[in-house]
A and B are shown apart, each in its own frame.
Chain A
Amino acid sequence: MGRKVNITGPLYFYIHFATEVICFYFLSKVIGDNALLWSVPFFYDALAFVPQSLVGRISDKFPKIPFGALGLVFMSVALALFSLLPTFPIFISVLILCLGNAFAHVAGAEVTLRASNGKITPAAIFVAGGSFGVITGKLLADVAPFWFIILLALSALPPVFLAEIFRKRTEKDKNPCKNFDFANKSFPVGLLIFLAVFVVIVRGYMGYGIPTSWNKTTFQTILLYVSMGFGKALGGILCDKIGARKTAMISVLGALPFLLFGDNIMVVSLIGVMFFSMTMAITLALLVSVLKKTPGLAFGLTTIGLFLGTVPIFFFKLGNFFTSCIVISVATLICHFVLMKITKKEKKHA
């Protein structure tokens, strides 16, 4: 089969961007009410992230269900209900938002992974869009009307249908993800899945746990999210170019000194965040490599990991600088050891 152009990565980058814009616009509006400050983020994290494994499994079995379009419509309905009907129960509109978010994410993973012929770059580009969307949604909450956000979300519908063309190309293939080959085949598969999810949990925690005293202005927050987005995309590109193992070494060991010494120095910290965000592509590539027939389920495992990584921040105050440094060092070194064990060793001569 000849090489065909695949633009599912950029298409779902925009769809993911729009998804996070609408979700974080909604959340920022709700969180303005102090009584809901804790409940809504916890409810949202749990019910947007965790069910993606089940939605992913359904999508694996019935790939023709248009989860991408359904997701965008669900989220738009949720925002319209919240904005137009102030008496409408808030948790029901958040639940609709969560389902929409889960649908859109699963569609992105399913389409980008199936259409990529064993490459992780398209999926990594899709995931990177979220970081840009989170900060844009937060910023727009102060200035944009709700209908503008709904229009922005619905503007992602044409890319969804365009991406569907690329997914349809893979329908003849019984197992379009068969070429994903990033995992160490001699490692027990069940344990590999557990350890890959563990790395995701650590990454989820690090997103909040890393000391960033320098982050005081909106511009600095934008830079933080942009560096996360670039890191996620770069991780995928490097994974395909030099292999998961070398990318893991660069991202984890490279990140450590920058994370430790970047508390007060923005540029140093941003480099650390970018490096560590690169692990996202590695873990997804590993999980799809062992669950080739169920890419949606594999992606859902990473989102469960992300939720579990953020759970501690809802119950414990984050520690001081030195505690954070110890946690970062130990967690990073464990991740490095784990990734070296579970990623495939690249041959010296191609």
Chain B
Amino acid sequence: MPDFQISGVPPAWQTDPLPLIITSTIVIVIILITIILVRKELKNEKKK
């Protein structure tokens, strides 16, 4: 089990959610860009 699940320390996002919000936003944006890139790549493959 990961250290932070057995430490007894309350997760930081419960007291200060800002880092979680910023990190999650970055993750979502990158995943969306990745989906666009994959779709573009598949379209290019189809054209061939």
Binding site for B on A (CB under 8 A): 31, 34-39, 41-43, 46-47, 50-51, 53-54, 57, 91, 189-190, 193, 208, 290-291, 293-294, 297, 300-301, 304, 307, 313-315, 317-318
Whether B19 pairs with A318 at a CB distance below 8 angstroms is no
Residues of A within 8 A of B3 (CB): 31, 37, 41
Interface class of chain B by DSSP: helix
| A301, B38: Cβ atoms closer than 8 Å | yes
* B36–chain A nearest beta-carbon distance, Å: 10
Quick check: B19 and A37 within 8 Å, CB to CB? no
Write out the residue numbers on chain A whose beta carbons fall within 8 Å of the beta carbon of B12: 35-39
Chain A residue numbers with a CB within 8 Å of B20 are 42
The secondary structure that dominates the A interface is helix
Smallest beta-carbon distance A186→chain B, Å: 15
Residues of B within 8 A of A35 (CB): 9, 12
By a CB distance below 8 angstroms, the chain A residues around B2 are 41, 208, 313
Bound-complex Cα distance A91 to B20 (A)? 13
How far, in whole Å, are A301 and B34 apart by their CA atoms in the complex?
A: 8
Is the CB–CB distance between A318 and B34 below 8 Å?
no
The answer to whether B1 touches A50, judged by C-beta atoms less than 8 angstroms apart, is no
Per the CB 8 Å criterion, the residue count for chain B at the interface is: 27
Q: When the two chains form their complex, are residues A38 and B34 in contact, meaning their CB atoms are under 8 A apart? A: no
Q: A46-B23, A318-B1 known; A57 and B37 CB under 8 Å?
A: yes
Q: How far is the CA of A38 from the CA of B3 in the complex (A)?
A: 9
Most buried by A among B1, B26, B34, B44: B34
Cβ–Cβ contact B38 & A193, under 8 A: yes
Contact of A46 among B4, B7, B26, B45 (CB under 8 A): B26
In the complex, what residue of chain A is closest to B22 when comparing beta carbons? A43
Check B34 against A304 for contact (C-beta < 8 Å): yes
Residue of A nearest to B20 (CB): A42
Q: 8 Å CB contacts to A: which residues of B1-45?
A: 1-5, 7, 9, 11-13, 19-20, 23-24, 26-27, 30-31, 33-34, 37-39, 41-42, 44-45
* A53 adjacent to B27 (CB under 8 Å): no
Interchain CB contact under 8 A, B37 and A43: no
Whether the pair A50, B30 counts as a contact (CB closer than 8 A) is yes
Instruction: Find chain B residues with CB under 8 A from A54 CB.
Output: 30, 33-34, 37
Find the A residue at minimum CB distance from B44.
A293
Q: Is the Cβ of A300 less than 8 Å from the Cβ of B34?
A: yes
Query: Nearest chain A CB to B29's CB is how many angstroms away?
Result: 10
8 closest A-B pairs by beta carbon, nearest first, are A53-B34, A38-B11, A39-B12, A38-B12, A37-B4, A38-B4, A46-B23, A34-B9
Partner of A291, one of B11, B26, B31, B41: B41
Query: Is B42 touching A293 in the complex (CB atoms < 8 A)?
Result: no
- Contacting residues, chain A, for B4 (C-beta < 8 A): 37-38, 41, 314
Beta-carbon contact of A34 and B41 below 8 Å: no
CA distance in complex: A314, B20 (Å): 11
Q: Cβ of A313 and Cβ of B5 under 8 Å apart?
A: yes
Q: List 21 A-B contacts (CB under 8 A).
A: A35-B12, A37-B7, A38-B13, A39-B13, A41-B3, A42-B20, A42-B23, A46-B26, A50-B27, A50-B30, A51-B30, A54-B33, A208-B1, A293-B44, A294-B41, A297-B41, A304-B30, A314-B11, A315-B11, A317-B5, A318-B1
**Across the interface, do A38 and B9 meet the contact criterion of CB distance under 8 Å?**
yes
Q: Which residues of the partner chain A approach B5 to less than 8 Å between Cβ atoms?
A: 313, 317-318
